[in-house]
Amino acid sequence: MRRAVCPGSFDPVTNGHLDIIGRTTRLYDEVIVAVLVNESKKGLFTIEERLEMLREVIAPYPNARIESFRGLLVDFCRAQQATVVVKGLRAVSDFDYELQMAQMNMGLAGVETLFMPTNPQHSFLSSSLVKDVAKWGGDVSAHVPEVVAQRLAERFKASGR
């Protein structure tokens, strides 16, 4: 079975992430969307909330599933018997860091990284940008799935911004 991992923080998932996940499901038998649990970085959404949103938005892709992981991505890949990581590249600015991680992961465990160019529609998009716009009441509905737009609105309403 050809199995790929799409890793990330997904705080929250955007249409850019979803584009990469959906395209990867057409290339591999199984795609594992892997959410990093990073105790040292407090996100806007809890891991459980991120997983819930992801579960909902990947429902149309029967060969995708969601997992969370701690520690090294290569250890997660090994445990899942996945040899390929697929990452989206939005712009040249993504490349330096992504290349470092890809080369480290190859050296650590022989895990391959494949870079997939982001759909130009989403090339400026990031979870951070979406959170910043939503925080100040901006409309992010073109950039995130509906469930995410709703959760962002609820979260910022509850916090009074």
Which DSSP letter does residue 37 get? Answer: -
Min dist CB 114 to ligand PNS, Å, is 14
Shortest approach of ligand PNS to residue 24 CB, angstroms?
14
Q: Which residue in 3, 49, 80, 104 binds ligand PNS (CB under 6 A)?
A: 104
Whether the ω angle into residue 60 lies within 30 degrees of 0, i.e. cis, is no
Q: In what order do the strands lie in the sheet with 3-8?
A: 64-69, 30-36, 3-8, 84-89, 112-117
For position 9 contacting ligand PNS by CB under 6 A, the verdict is yes
DSSP 121: G
Q: Which of residues 57-86 bind ligand PNS (CB under 6 A)?
A: 72-73
36 forms part of the interface with ligand PNS (CB under 6 A): yes
Amino acid letter for position 59: A
Active-site residues, by number, are 17, 41, 90, 127
